[in-house]
């Protein structure tokens, strides 16, 4: 199962891009926050829906899939019972920019 580690950043960090004919599934999130303050991490799904008769030119959507606050100097582990679905690009956005907070996301495609 692939995984990616990104550092906390207030600018969206791309974790993975779901292939067109697949669904991304986040199976585990781990945050190692050695920063001096709590850090809140938002997991976003950014995608453009398929065109329809009613919406021939759909606009890009950003959906918040999970919000997690990791305590200062601590770790947070989230293992999903099922998964968190990602239809497009999975992004992690944090409340602080610091190399002292690492975000690990494990995922797979179906």
55-109, pLDDT tens digit by residue? 999 999 999 999 999 999 999 999 877 799 999 999 999 999 999 999 999 999 9
Where are the chain's structural domains? 3-109
> How many other CB atoms are found less than 10 A from the CB of residue 56?
7
3-class SS letters over 32-81: EECCCCCEEEEEEEEECCCCCCCCCCCCCEEEEEEEEEECCCEEEEEEEE
Confidence of residue 43 (pLDDT cuts 50, 70, 90): very high
Question: The whole model's pTM is what?
Answer: 0.92
Tokens representing 38 are 């709590």
76, 23 contact by CB (below 8 A): no
Residue 18 DSSP code? -
CATH of 3-109, one of 2.60.120, 1.10.150, 1.10.10, 3.40.35: 2.60.120
Q: How large is the average pLDDT for residues 45-51?
A: 93
């Amino acid at each position: 199962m692939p995984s990616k580690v990104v550092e906390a950043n207030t600018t969206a960090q791309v974790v993975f891009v779901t292939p067109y004919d697949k669904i991304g599934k986040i199976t585990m999130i781990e945050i190692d926050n050695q920063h001096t303050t709590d850090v809140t991490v938002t997991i976003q799904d950014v995608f453009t829906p398929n065109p329809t008769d009613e919406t021939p030119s759909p606009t890009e959507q950003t959906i918040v899939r999970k919000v997690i606050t990791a305590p200062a100097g601590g770790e947070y582990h989230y293992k999903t019972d099922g998964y968190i679905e990602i239809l497009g690009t999975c992004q992690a956005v944090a409340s602080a920019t610091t190399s002292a907070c690492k975000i690990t996301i494990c995922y797979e495609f179906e």
